[in-house]
Amino acid sequence: MTTGPWMHTLVSRLYPLCRSITGDGVRQTLAIVGEHLPLTVHEVPTGTPVLDWTVPQEWNIRDAYVADASGRRVIDFRESNLHVVGYSVPVATRLPLAELREHLHTLPDQPALVPYRTSYYAPTWGFCLAQSTLDSLPDGEYEVCVDSTLADGSLTYAEHVVPGQVEDEVIVSAHVCHPSLANDNLAGIAVAVGLALSLENPYYTYRFVFAPGTIGAITWLARNAQRIDRVRHGIVLACAGDRGSLTYKRSRRGDAPIDQVMEYVLRDRPHEIREFTPYGYDERQYCSPGFDLGVGSLTRTPYAGYPEYHTSGDNPDLVSPESMVDTLEVLREAVAVLDRDRRYVNLSPYGEPQLGRRGLYDSLGGRSDAHDAQLAMLWVLNLADGQHSLLDTARRAGLPFTSVAAAADALLAAGLLKDAP
- Please state the residue numbers annotated as binding site: 178, 184, 310
Tell me the C-alpha distance between 280 and 414, whole Å.
48
CB atoms within 10 A of CB 415: 11
For the stretch 355-363, contacts whose Cβ atoms lie closer than 8 Å and that sit 24 or more positions apart, written own/partner, are 358/414, 358/416, 359/414, 360/410, 360/411, 360/414, 363/410
Binding positions for Zn(2+): 178, 184, 310
Q: Tell me the residue type at 25.
A: G
Three-point CA angle 292, 293, 295, nearest 5°: 125
Contact in structure between 159 and 43 (CB atoms under 8 Å) = no
Tell me the C-alpha distance between 376 and 167, whole Å.
30
Bridging pattern class, strands 343-346 and 295-299: unpaired
Strand locations in 239-302 (E): 246-249, 271-274, 295-299
- Alpha-helical segments (H) within 266-416: 283-286, 321-340, 370-383, 390-397, 401-413
Contact in structure between 144 and 95 (CB atoms under 8 Å) = yes
Contact in structure between 181 and 240 (CB atoms under 8 Å) = no
The DSSP output letter for 68 is -
